Chains A and B, each alone.
Chain A
């Protein structure tokens, strides 16, 4: 076992890990941050998406030791300081961008990274940016709408 230290949602955290410990495992089992979901464990579904130094990555396909010292942000770090939902999270609720919610942590993290790169994306850019995130419930339309609403764009013209 090796000691690993990183910053997660603004707090410095440490834990003992094996070489093979994935970032997803360190977050969920090491730190109890179970908001990061594991859907496929094979880099396909994006449910495990978190930010590493501001970039979205699939935490099931990154070793914890490889991101030692990094700034990591998970879904638990997305709400406002007073516990209310962030603009993006609120948009998912307003637009019915989730049903079972399993994909939602990854969708929110991927969308937040997308908006950081491109604050007013087109609908096509949102769809391209969410290609790595699978949702088995919503059919995606309402997720795309939520991201566009969060970007401050008018979504009334987009068909349901």
Chain B
């Protein structure tokens, strides 16, 4: 790993200022970025740690919404979102392992937008709003492909605001070595309809399975997706699973998520 200058601002405003410098990059839990820097795939000149910014931490529920600070570790969401949004808390409690959950954060996860990451499915299925230092971005506009998001240079995810569904569940089929999602499905049922988001499977990252959304909005039961099938073209294939295998998993996991919700 190349050396860098380390700064740890105490406010969002100071972090934004520090990130304006050439070669500066945000560091949150470091559970992705430090490994990337060790491989020299990233070599920032300055790392701006977000872990000392109190206004970016914590979980709060009010008015049918759950707000999670961008620098809140997964373990805190797992513990503190349990009462208000159990489906989201369970997702956070299943990310990686306890040590990863104690450091890794929601902001880092959705800024990175790994195609096998768990959080993007919850953000998309909940129709959440990603709040940054400069604007609010709807989940449907935020995720733009593999490791690609609507974020601009130096833009910081400060909060994610989740509308709380009536029922929701996330079911992932673990890739046993990495514990990321080989495929994962988040189902969220709102009064206005059902949203279904799939991670770990799309060649372009997280996506909504709209046919299942329509079927489940009419009849929220596992059997409602029986007659549907997912087209494997457009899905990822690797040594862990072919596109056809993932297509089948999406359907199976959707049914399990509906049953668990």
Which A residues lie at the B interface, using CB under 8 A?
A: 2, 18-20, 22, 41-43, 46, 49, 52, 55-58, 61-63, 65-66, 68, 110, 113-114, 129, 131-133
Interface presence of B18 (CB below 8 A): no
Number of A-B contacts (CB under 8 A): 75
Contacts A19-B5, A49-B99, A129-B98 hold; do A62 and B38 have CB atoms under 8 A apart?
no
Residues of A within 8 A of B260 (CB): none
Contacts A19-B4, A66-B6 hold; do A57 and B102 have CB atoms under 8 A apart?
yes
Contacts A19-B47, A41-B38 hold; do A65 and B98 have CB atoms under 8 A apart?
no
16 further A-B contacts with Cβ under 8 Å, apart from A2-B6, A62-B103, are: A19-B6, A20-B4, A42-B35, A43-B34, A43-B100, A49-B99, A58-B99, A58-B100, A61-B31, A62-B34, A63-B47, A65-B49, A66-B6, A66-B8, A131-B96, A132-B96
Query: What are 28 A-B contacts with C-beta separation under 8 Å?
Result: A2-B6, A18-B3, A19-B47, A20-B2, A41-B38, A42-B35, A42-B38, A43-B34, A43-B100, A46-B97, A57-B102, A58-B100, A61-B30, A61-B31, A61-B35, A61-B103, A62-B103, A63-B30, A63-B34, A63-B47, A65-B6, A66-B27, A110-B99, A131-B96, A131-B97, A131-B98, A131-B179, A132-B100
A132 to B99 CA separation, bound complex (whole angstroms): 7
Which 9 A-B residue pairs are closest in the complex by CB-CB distance? A132-B97, A19-B6, A131-B97, A55-B102, A19-B4, A65-B6, A58-B99, A20-B3, A132-B99
Name the contact of A57 in the complex, choosing from B1, B49, B103, B179 (C-beta under 8 A). Answer: B103
Shortest CB–CB separation between residue B38 and chain A, in angstroms?
A: 7
Residues of B within 8 A of A133 (CB): 97
Instruction: Report whether over half of chain B's contact residues are helix, strand or loop; otherwise say mixed.
Output: mixed
Please name the residue on chain A nearest to B51 by beta carbon: A66
